[in-house]
Structure 1
Amino acid sequence: MKVLIFNTLYYPNSIGGAEKSVQLLAESLKEKGINPVIVCTDKVEREDYVNGVKVYYIKNKNLYWFDQEQKNNIQKSLWHALDNYNYFIKKKITWIINQEKPQIIHTNNITGFSMMPWILAKENKLPLIHTLRDYSLMCSKTTMFKNGENCDFPCKECKLFNFYKQKLSNENHVDHLVGISQFIINKFKDNDYFQGVPSTRIFNGMELSNRSKINPEFNSFDRKIKFLYMGRIEKAKGINKILEEISEIKDVELYIAGKVKDDEIKRNIQEGKYPTNIKFLGFINPKEIIPKIDVMLVPSLWHEPFGRVIIEAYSYGKTVIGTNLGGIPELIVQGQTGFIYNPKESDSLKNIIKGIISNPDLLKSISNNLNGFITKFDSELIASKYIEVYKGVIDKKAIKN
């Protein structure tokens, strides 16, 4: 079986979890005898192989390539209009379809392609599955988060920019919908996307075979318990909340890894306003820091569809504390793999941290639970689930045609 997989970006142009997840899926599919072919956007048009997977890098055919901060409102509006139906990219995608002759098309994030992969799949009578990895089909900022609040539904601007995308989602272009959490599936369906389209939740996968041994040896905790936040350092990620709460707790160490995007936090770092038990590490490879900490913090204030860092922490046997928002609660079993808190409730996070400090044996108990739990995110299992969906959609399409 040959599957043509579309994603906005692909290695080496990785900026987030979607690119990592799509790459791992493609390589896992190949190991299982499926022939994946990737189509992504780039500044330069070329073909290449990445770990044995064929990749088409299509040159950007819009006004610019993902640098909206530098553009005025008119340019942004034109960019979004073209990202609904981009005729200029049609010829190249058509050529790739004719060249590769896939049995199925699998779209993921398709910003930069416009809706052309869906349109051409239907024109060529090819079965199509789509994986929801962010809110880009519904929200121009991709996060459904504005002015410090989560959006229950698209604002007027997003409705205007994405009207055509919503329309196509309900016109039999997509044969099966996959969501990396049930939350993101429900979010789209509740806002009148993908009505009548069958759906399946398939988590993002992780390569577990080369990870550290789960059940790491804990010492007697005659030291401060070490907490880690890893990700973009900005308000939507809830970083301000943990800085505020942990500043008041002296019996722990907090490590913060990632690029600082919040101007206030930048100033506070420069002026030395944070206590010495809070350390900013900058960008660091997860393998270098996660084994050295005890608890991962995931304090997102926006409805994050998935939390890849949660699974990464589990793979090292680490407890996770996360908010009750988005897809995060689907990844944490309360008291067994970690703890869930409500960021709107005062002291809710602080009380969990104090509970761990008073009973650090909780961390050993949770680490023991992770042996079985982590297997549901194994990349080979995730690939098998996608293959099952592929086969089901192909068979159903064949009967229909």
Structure 2
Amino acid sequence: MKICIVAQTFAPQEEGGAEIVARMCAVELSRYHEVIILSLGLEGNDIAPPGEMVNSDGIRVIRVNWHNSYLPGPRKPAVSKLAKLAWHVRSALGATSIDEVKELLTRERVDIVYAHNSARMQPAIFEATSALNIPLCLHLHDYALLCPKSSMFRSSGNCEKPCLECRVLTSRIKSSKGDGVTAISVSDALRQRFLRNGVLPKADWHVLLNANRSETLFHAPLVGRKTSASEHFTFGYLGALAEEKGIEDLIRAFLTLPQSETVTLLVAGRGREDYERHLKSLAGNAPIRFLGFVPPEEVYKVSDVIVLPSRWHEPQSLILMEAATYGVPVIGTERGGTPEILRDLGTGWCYDPDQENGLADTLNRAISIGHDRWWSERDIHFPGIDGFRGTSEASGYYQKLNDILVAATVLKRPA
């Protein structure tokens, strides 16, 4: 069948977790089906102009016009608050042409539209597929259908329900009730959050954990390692250096550890320059190394434990699956989809970020075991790591995805 994968941001643009999954799904599905990519383009943009190209995987990428001042994505330009508000209003009204999407889907004779990070392309995708009676499968990675920031997080904390501003800005993009729509969620926590807020209540829902990386993409000597690779007990952090990620909480907790203990914290990732300066100032002369943007393997291969201190209800970080596949336990918050991996599958510890000293106590719990015993007793503390089925081959990820998509093509929309 012919699959149109929708991703509002797509390589060579900068990738987050959702974009990585979309690209990898495109490669794997193209082995058995004809695949095209539908993304956004902006006139004058050097990386993502409107039009068609063939990417390095041999897949056609077609970018339709984004009728707004700048493209969505992690690297937005510095603009005034008024300009940012205007951008969000224009996006909410629909900055992707329904007619342009309909023309493309008709011309390409698409059998199914499989959309990843697509909130900015709504309501065009909903309305075009409905008008043409083309099956639609939404692969949901975040809260973008409820919150323009996609995190449902403000500096004051997490939002259980969308605020008035978010309700206004997302009213059109979540207009579908889900009739005839297939929805894939990366965690049950994400699925439940959508349903509690009345999003896609009539969709055919599935939960598919992010076990999507092929064994060929893992550095073989690191997979399933069972010994320490560092002189000191080493905590690792990977991800954006942003408030909602909880990196500041991690640094503050690390600074409380007994100075007599020989421990190191590796911080991999980048963020706003001013926030990075703040974090480095906070770290002072402590044994905290800021690595910048590096391949995840550089952290996995030397860390004794990865810390995922997310303040927001992170749906399901790729790190949860990758770290366990490499044999490394994870300490994470009791929020979002994180407990579904760490607690339910036995690959790490969870702590309550609202509890004072919750993270510091958990870090202390780890180092109190001792550097050598940490690894010799790993399978006692984390019984789910040995033989963890975190790769696409072990989990059957792409077969499960293919089965969902094939079933979606016969899911009838209401007349």
Quick check: 1:391 aligned with 2:406? yes
| Candidates 397, 404, 412, aligned match of 1:382 | 397
Quick check: 1:238 aligned with 2:246? yes
Give 1:140 shift: 1.5
Equivalent residue, structure 1, for 2:208: 202
Uncovered stretches (5+) of structure 1, i.e. residues with no partner: none
Contact 1:258 1:282 in 2 (8 A): yes
Contact 1:6 1:107 in 2 (8 A): yes
In structure 2, do the counterparts of structure 1 residues 202 and 79 end up closer, same or farther at CA, with 3 Å as the change threshold? same
| Candidates 50, 56, 65, aligned match of 1:59 | 65
Q: What secondary structure, in the 3-state scheme, does the structure 2 residue paired with 1:70 have?
A: coil
Equivalent residue, structure 2, for 1:353: 363
In structure 2, do the counterparts of structure 1 residues 334 and 87 end up closer, same or farther at CA, with 3 Å as the change threshold? closer
Q: Tell me the amino acid that sits aligned with residue 353 of structure 1.
A: L
TM-score normalised by length of structure 2 = 0.86
Q: What secondary structure, in the 3-state scheme, does the structure 1 residue paired with 2:367 have?
A: helix
The equivalences for 1:158-177 within 5 A come to 158-166=166-174, 168-170=175-177, 172=179, 174-177=180-183
The equivalences for 1:254-265 within 5 A come to 254-261=265-272, 263=274
Aligned length: 394
Equivalent residue, structure 1, for 2:342: 332
| Candidates 198, 207, 211, aligned match of 1:192 | 198
Contact 2:98 2:127 in 1 (8 A): no
Give 1:94 shift: 2.1
Quick check: 1:311 aligned with 2:321? yes
Equivalent residue, structure 1, for 2:232: 224
TM-score normalised by length of structure 1 = 0.89
Contact 1:319 1:363 in 2 (8 A): no
In structure 2, do the counterparts of structure 1 residues 126 and 206 end up closer, same or farther at CA, with 3 Å as the change threshold? same
Mapped to 1, the partners of 2:20 and 2:93 lie a distance apart of 27
| Candidates 140, 145, 148, aligned match of 1:140 | 148
Q: What secondary structure, in the 3-state scheme, does the structure 2 residue paired with 1:165 have?
A: coil
Equivalent residue, structure 2, for 1:6: 6
Q: What secondary structure, in the 3-state scheme, does the structure 1 residue paired with 2:121 have?
A: coil
Contact 1:38 1:54 in 2 (8 A): yes
In structure 2, do the counterparts of structure 1 residues 40 and 262 end up closer, same or farther at CA, with 3 Å as the change threshold? same
Q: Tell me the amino acid that sits aligned with residue 169 of structure 1.
A: S
In structure 2, do the counterparts of structure 1 residues 290 and 123 end up closer, same or farther at CA, with 3 Å as the change threshold? same
User: Aligned-residue CA RMSD in angstroms?
Assistant: 2.6
| Farther off after superposition, 319-328 or 258-267 | 258-267
Quick check: 1:48 aligned with 2:53? yes
Equivalent residue, structure 1, for 2:21: 21
| Farther off after superposition, 341-350 or 302-311 | 341-350
Q: What secondary structure, in the 3-state scheme, does the structure 2 residue paired with 1:331 have?
A: helix
Q: Tell me the amino acid that sits aligned with residue 281 of structure 1.
A: L
Q: What secondary structure, in the 3-state scheme, does the structure 2 residue paired with 1:395 have?
A: coil
Mapped to 2, the partners of 1:339 and 1:88 lie a distance apart of 43
Equivalent residue, structure 1, for 2:38: 39
Mapped to 1, the partners of 2:105 and 2:224 lie a distance apart of 47
Uncovered stretches (5+) of structure 2, i.e. residues with no partner: 43-48
Give 1:112 shift: 3.6
Q: What secondary structure, in the 3-state scheme, does the structure 2 residue paired with 1:292 have?
A: coil
Contact 2:94 2:124 in 1 (8 A): yes
Give 1:85 shift: 4.8
Q: Tell me the amino acid that sits aligned with residue 254 of structure 1.
A: L
Give 1:276 shift: 3.3
Mapped to 2, the partners of 1:88 and 1:210 lie a distance apart of 34
Contact 1:323 1:342 in 2 (8 A): yes
Mapped to 2, the partners of 1:313 and 1:220 lie a distance apart of 14
Give 1:218 shift: 1.6
Q: Percent identity?
A: 23
Q: Tell me the amino acid that sits aligned with residue 150 of structure 1.
A: N
Q: How big is each residue's C-alpha offset from its partner over 1:137-173, in whole Å with a ceiling of 9 and x where there is no partner?
A: 111111100123000101111111111233x22163x
Q: Tell me the amino acid that sits aligned with residue 232 of structure 1.
A: A
Q: Tell me the amino acid that sits aligned with residue 7 of structure 1.
A: A
Give 1:220 shift: 9.8
Quick check: 1:157 aligned with 2:160? no
